[in-house]
């Protein structure tokens, strides 16, 4: 069944924090789910996917608790998701879900679930644990050891045997995931001798906890799922440090046997997790158990706080690659998307404009900045924040961001970030019409408040370049380009703001597929008709993300001008720092094109592509209309970039589109592996290129070998006639996100 995943999760949650009960009139059923509102929203969506509507209700309650010391009063707000669908209740009961009070009934895990493959059992367990398992947390007063994960349920004493069997079944499934359990405990409930509490206590060993949080984790509980992800990351780091200390112990003993002194051994091991005392104890005292974690190891509370600030409640999945092999295939291969959280996103041809590139010219030549190059790149690195989760110098409120959504780069210019003539050299003059701020979520606005004027991460960059070749002097002169010239290229987009918009609409589109009777070949796809309310809403939100990106690049350009002016001691106008062009390369636009001899309005999706309109096109600024649109194709931080011009053939064959860059040859993980033991910054320096990044990992992911040869890519593009090369630039200094 295409809805089996949702059914398994719903069953798991009902066995924890849900119930199926008779209505008071005895003629129907009420299926209820209890929890936090945000988690119940997910259950509501899944119920809709399998064809049932539900309602989430809120209830404010007052409580009184009497203890031997005092009486306490407090208020709470509880939420319930309920549906009175008789067919849903009967369907679930037929699948083995208990009805009535679970405390006074016999039930176990339905046999058919026990026969399912692991991925199905994982969904069932994760939703049950989302309801019933204690939240991941560390022992009080001890920042390295985790509380035993525990699941508990109260039962009337005559039904305890079925609950013990239920927990034994849970234990058997956990074993399949490599998670051991300690025991099942039973205790009488105080002041109620007819009831017992039965608890399943899981192992708290590192390997068992890793398997629990990485392979199962939680469903229908965003907070637990978030903590499970963070704890898994923490435990992986802890495991790595312990292994490093174990290896250091072996090395220390071995070196001692060879006659080395303590000081010499300590200098040879050279690990931040191993001190002199550890080496002495390893040699003179030995260890009966494996080494414990270093006291210098980080505090989980700091990691949780940092993860929450950067990623909200988002998560990740760690999985093992089983096999990599070549497949005999000679057909077309389509690059569907780039797997990076802050880059670009597609959902069955709907995409958020998260990236674009801008080229800034100058009157400068290399000799003018030769002695100032390092100072310039350091100044730009300070003035323009980069890296994952980076925030800028601007702190805007919601109303101001809504203006950015509608006005784009025009808003930035109004605020003093540039001048009016800048807008002429931006696609759509930096302001695509049709954005609607009301189509964008509160969460997206929260993420966008502090990210204007920031570079971001991944393959985003800011580069100081030198023009080394000019292929068409006439068009180059019109673009303001000449041999030996210094240019600046900026590649970035709408940051977490655009990412969140995509995330929100992927979620919404998941439930409209059934509404419009759309059948998709894969559950990972999502879509909505372009003329539907959902499709229209998304398109307006996507335009808002594009406008945010235009504003972002405009603000960065202003700070580029300020930095050059300050360090060179010359006003930026005299330096000739002006925009050649700014064009998006992950965007969907409604354009008019000729199809079978007739003009038609088309949604043109340029994902990993960029616009390349020919001479005479009315969308182009007047100054470029006689030659065509400037097309900017960047390479890597170790290779050339190009400026080209759009052609009539591109209009005929690709609806005015060309490629947007060199394209990756390696995944980021592979690039990191390939660069192990190397200094990418030093290698680039040997080539005469200064490189700055927030981390060595960031440089490793983007090393030149990770990308295709941009010169060959340009040959193909020009050979196909969809763009014509005008000039070639090489990097002198680069900032990577």
8 Å CB contact between 689 and 638: yes
In this structure, is the dihedral angle defined by the CA atoms of residues 68, 69, 74 and 79, taken in order, positive or negative?
negative
Instruction: Please give the backbone phi and psi of residue 610, each rounded to the nearest 5 degrees, phi first.
Output: -135, 155
Name the burial class of residue 126, with classes exposed (0-12), middle (13-18) and buried (19+) by CB atoms within 10 angstroms of its CB: buried
User: Residues 495, 384: contact at Cβ < 8 Å?
Assistant: no
Q: Sign (positive/negative) of CA torsion 187, 189, 193, 196? A: negative
Q: What 8-state DSSP symbol labels residue 106?
A: -
CB atoms within 10 A of CB 31: 26
Collect all residues with Cβ–Cβ distance below 8 Å to 365 and sequence separation of at least 6: 484, 485, 486
For residue 323, the number of C-alpha atoms closer than 13 Å in the C-beta half-sphere is 3
Nearest partner of 540 among 528, 557, 523, judged by Cα: 528
- Specify the DSSP class assigned to residue 190: T
Distance of alpha carbon 625 from alpha carbon 615, whole angstroms: 5
Q: Measure the CA–CA gap between 401 and 236, rounded to whole angstroms.
A: 39
Place of tokens 């490629």: 659
For the chain, what percentages of helix, strand and coil (3-state, to nearest 5) are there?
45, 20, 35
660 is catalytic: yes
> Given phi > 0 = left and psi -120 to 50 = alpha, else beta, which region is 175?
alpha
Query: What is the rounded distance in angstroms from the CA atom of residue 35 to the CA atom of residue 131?
Result: 8
At residue 369, the 3 state secondary structure works out as helix
Which DSSP symbol is given to 618? T
Q: Shortest CA distance to 376 belongs to which of 635, 575, 661?
A: 575
Q: How far is CA 190 from the centre of its chain?
A: 47
The residues near 61 (Cβ < 8 Å, ≥ 6 apart) are 75, 76, 77, 78
Beta-strand (E) ranges in 353-460?
A: 356-361
Residue with tokens 């199905």: 120
Contact 732, 638 (CB under 8 A): no
Q: Which of 729, 674, 730 is nearest to 702 (CA)?
A: 674
Give the pairing type, strands 657-659 and 150-156: unpaired
- Mapping DSSP to helix (H, G, I), strand (E, B) and coil, where does residue 492 land? strand
How far apart CA 723 and CA 612 sit, in angstroms, is 7
Q: Which of 591, 586, 606 minimizes the C-alpha distance to 494?
A: 586
Neighbouring-strand partners of residue 592: 601
Note the residue count of the chain. Answer: 737
Q: Which of 579, 583, 561, 558 is nearest to 570 (CA)?
A: 561
CB 357 within 8 A of CB 488: no
Task: Give the DSSP letter string of 204-245.
Answer: -SHHHHHHIIIII--SS-HHHHHHHHHHHHHHHHHHHHHHHH
The active-site residue, picked from 605, 617, 660, 669, is: 660
- Residue 636 · residue 663 · CB < 8 Å: no
**Rounded to an integer, what distance in angstroms lies between the CA atom of residue 122 and that of residue 353?**
35
Residue 610, strand partner residues: 658
**Residues that are catalytic:** 660
């Amino acid at each position: 069944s295409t809805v089996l995943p949702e059914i398994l999760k719903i069953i798991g949650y009902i066995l924890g924090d849900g119930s199926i009960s008779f209505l008071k009139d005895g003629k129907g059923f009420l299926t209820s789910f209890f929890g936090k509102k945000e988690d119940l929203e997910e259950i509501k969506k899944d119920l809709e996917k399998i064809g049932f509507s539900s309602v989430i209700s809120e209830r404010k309650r007052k409580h009184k608790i009497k203890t031997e010391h005092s009486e306490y009063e407090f208020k709470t707000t509880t939420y319930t998701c309920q549906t009175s669908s008789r067919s849903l209740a009967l369907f679930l009961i037929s699948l083995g879900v208990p009805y009535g009070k679970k405390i006074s009934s016999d039930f176990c895990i339905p046999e058919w679930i026990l026969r399912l493959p692991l991925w199905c059992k994982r969904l069932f367990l994760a939703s049950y644990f989302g309801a019933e398992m204690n939240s991941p947390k560390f022992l009080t007063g001890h920042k390295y050891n985790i509380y035993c994960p525990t699941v508990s349920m109260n039962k009337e004493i005559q039904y305890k045997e079925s609950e013990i069997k239920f927990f034994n079944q849970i234990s058997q499934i956990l074993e399949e995931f490599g998670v051991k359990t300690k025991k099942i405990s039973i205790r009488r409930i105080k002041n109620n001798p007819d009831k017992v509490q039965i608890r399943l206590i899981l192992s708290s060993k590192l390997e068992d906890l890793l398997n629990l949080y990485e392979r199962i984790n939680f469903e229908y509980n965003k907070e637990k799922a978030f903590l499970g992800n963070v704890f898994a990351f923490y435990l992986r780091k802890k495991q790595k440090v312990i292994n490093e200390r174990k290896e250091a112990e072996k090395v220390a003993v071995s070196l001692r046997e060879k006659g080395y002194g303590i000081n010499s051994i300590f200098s040879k091991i050279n690990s931040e997790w191993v001190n002199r005392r550890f080496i002495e104890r390893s040699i003179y005292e030995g260890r009966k158990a494996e080494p414990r974690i270093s006291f210098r190891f980080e505090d989980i509370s700091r990691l949780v706080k940092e993860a929450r600030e950067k990623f909200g409640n988002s998560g990740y999945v760690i999985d093992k690659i089983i096999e990599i092999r070549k497949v005999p295939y000679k057909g077309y291969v389509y690059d569907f998307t780039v797997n990076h959280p802050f880059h670009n996103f597609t959902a069955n041809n709907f995409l958020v404009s998260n990236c674009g590139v801008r080229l800034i010219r100058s009157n400068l030549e290399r000799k003018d900045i030769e002695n100032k190059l390092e100072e310039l790149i350091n100044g730009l690195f300070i003035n323009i924040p980069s890296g994952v989760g980076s925030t800028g110098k601007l702190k805007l409120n919601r109303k101001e961001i809504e203006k950015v959504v509608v006005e784009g780069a025009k808003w930035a210019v109004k605020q003093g970030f540039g001048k009016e003539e800048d807008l002429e050299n931006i696609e759509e003059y930096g302001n695509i019409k049709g954005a609607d701020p009301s189509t964008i979520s509160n969460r997206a606005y929260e993420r966008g408040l502090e990210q204007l004027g920031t570079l971001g991460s991944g393959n985003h960059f800011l580069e100081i370049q030198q023009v080394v070749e000019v292929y068409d002097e006439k068009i180059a002169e019109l673009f303001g380009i000449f041999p030996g010239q210094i240019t600046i290229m900026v590649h970035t987009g709408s940051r977490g703001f655009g990412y969140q918009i995509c995330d929100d609409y992927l979620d919404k589109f998941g439930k409209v597929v059934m509404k419009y009777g759309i059948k998709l070949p894969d559950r990972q796809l999502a879509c909505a008709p372009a003329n539907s309310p959902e499709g229209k809403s998304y398109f307006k939100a996507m335009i808002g993300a594009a406008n945010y990106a235009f504003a972002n690049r405009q603000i960065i350009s202003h700070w580029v001008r300020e930095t050059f002016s300050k360090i060179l001691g010359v006003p930026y106008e005299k330096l000739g720092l002006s925009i050649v062009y700014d064009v998006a390369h992950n965007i969907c636009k409604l354009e008019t094109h000729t199809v079978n001899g007739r003009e038609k309005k088309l949604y043109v999706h340029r994902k990993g592509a960029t616009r390349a309109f020919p001479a005479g096109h009315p969308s182009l600024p007047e100054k470029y209309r006689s030659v065509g649109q400037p097309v900017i194709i960047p390479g890597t931080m170790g290779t050339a970039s190009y400026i080209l011009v759009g052609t009539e053939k591109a209009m005929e064959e690709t609806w005015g589109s060309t490629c947007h860059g060199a394209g990756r040859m390696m995944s980021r993980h592979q690039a990191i592996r390939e660069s192990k033991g190397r200094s990418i910054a030093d290698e680039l320096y040997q080539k005469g290129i200064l490189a700055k990044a927030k981390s060595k990992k960031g440089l490793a992911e983007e090393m030149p070998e990770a990308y295709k040869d941009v010169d060959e890519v340009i040959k193909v593009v020009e050979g196909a006639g969809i763009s014509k090369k005008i000039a070639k630039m090489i990097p002198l200094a680069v900032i990577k996100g």
